[in-house]
A = this chain, B = another copy of it.
């Protein structure tokens, strides 16, 4: 269990087409004073420089699925991303990093989402603080398992900042600024904590917990047969009830949500998830309540 946050890794370009993180990392590398905080050491890392240079999500395989501990120890896994994962894992360990902040973007309309993979009290207090001080911030709980060996899983206090909607391969000035703002808020929070000035967090906050993934309608050959319904497009974090349309097939047939309870879809129509068989994730809305 981490006792105190002293060393933070800011990571961008884990996916080469998600330029918000790439250019924020470049900015911080050119102007390191921006991320300097008393008592905290913050390092910056461009995770997949070759994919960035090629303008592609990845070169050989998805870097953000390459951090299984047994894969990192397997000397036979040597493609570009497998090799990069080992270099990154070693760096995170050598630098004794407590917190990873991995900067991503999405074609889904997810605003400024902080993705957490556990309920560590440090992360929950930070999440509560961010939701209170920044109305754009949404908190997504996404427990990791064997299928999700993400970069952020290298440390207990790993998180992703996922901003959107933004197309791959370009910059959106508003989302760039919003991402930078939330990075500064996180650094300020940990710096204040380190200095014993605990910033006040509310006693409860709303979060969304991933419960299920939903694939596109597909034909016998695995090809997709439909699209996100126009009424659902860009409606991330909005309530979805039984009987509401979620897909429309290419010949115009509507497909409806049939679950029993209200859910809150996220990652709706994320471009990179077509190949992964994910049209959206369904989440439950929930509250954390505690006495600090």
Q: How far is the CA of A107 from the CA of B230 in the complex (A)?
A: 18
Q: How far is the CA of A178 from the CA of B233 in the complex (A)?
A: 15
Binary contact readout A212-227 vs B (1 if CB under 8 angstroms, 0 otherwise): 0000000000000001
**A202 contacts B by Cβ under 8 Å:** no
Task: Assess the A230–B56 pair: CB atoms within 8 A.
Answer: no
Contact residue among B55, B168, B169, B173 (Cβ-Cβ distance under 8 Å from A248): B173
Task: Assess the B274–A233 pair: CB atoms within 8 A.
Answer: no
Copies in the complex: 2
CB distance from A228 to the nearest CB of B (A): 6
**A48 contacts B by Cβ under 8 Å:** no
Task: Assess the A174–B251 pair: CB atoms within 8 A.
Answer: no
In residues 190-240 of chain A, which contact B (Cβ within 8 Å)? 227-230, 233
Cβ contacts under 8 Å, A269 to chain B: 170-172
Interface of A is mostly: loop
Q: How far is the CA of A182 from the CA of B173 in the complex (A)?
A: 33
With known contacts A23-B250, A55-B275, A172–B227 Cβ distance under 8 A? yes
Contact residue among B27, B31, B228 (Cβ-Cβ distance under 8 Å from A173): B228
Contact residue among B56, B107, B174 (Cβ-Cβ distance under 8 Å from A167): B107
CB distance from A97 to the nearest CB of B (A): 25
**A136 contacts B by Cβ under 8 Å:** no
With known contacts A23-B250, A251-B31, A272–B169 Cβ distance under 8 A? yes
CB distance from A281 to the nearest CB of B (A): 16
Classify chain A's interface size: 20 to 34
CB distance from A199 to the nearest CB of B (A): 25
Task: Assess the A27–B250 pair: CB atoms within 8 A.
Answer: yes
CB distance from A276 to the nearest CB of B (A): 12
Task: Assess the A227–B171 pair: CB atoms within 8 A.
Answer: yes
**A183 contacts B by Cβ under 8 Å:** no
Q: How far is the CA of A17 from the CA of B250 in the complex (A)?
A: 18
**A176 contacts B by Cβ under 8 Å:** yes
Task: Assess the B229–A173 pair: CB atoms within 8 A.
Answer: yes
Task: Assess the A233–B173 pair: CB atoms within 8 A.
Answer: yes
Cβ contacts under 8 Å, A55 to chain B: 275
**A155 contacts B by Cβ under 8 Å:** no
A-B contact pairs, 27 of them (CB 8 A): A23-B250, A26-B250, A31-B251, A55-B275, A56-B56, A107-B167, A107-B170, A165-B167, A167-B167, A167-B168, A168-B168, A168-B271, A169-B274, A170-B269, A170-B271, A170-B274, A171-B227, A171-B228, A171-B269, A172-B228, A172-B269, A173-B228, A173-B233, A173-B248, A174-B233, A176-B227, A176-B250
Q: Contacts A168-B168, A173-B230, A174-B233 given; 14 further ones with Cβ under 8 A?
A: A23-B250, A27-B251, A55-B275, A166-B167, A167-B167, A167-B168, A168-B271, A169-B271, A169-B272, A171-B227, A171-B228, A173-B233, A174-B230, A176-B227
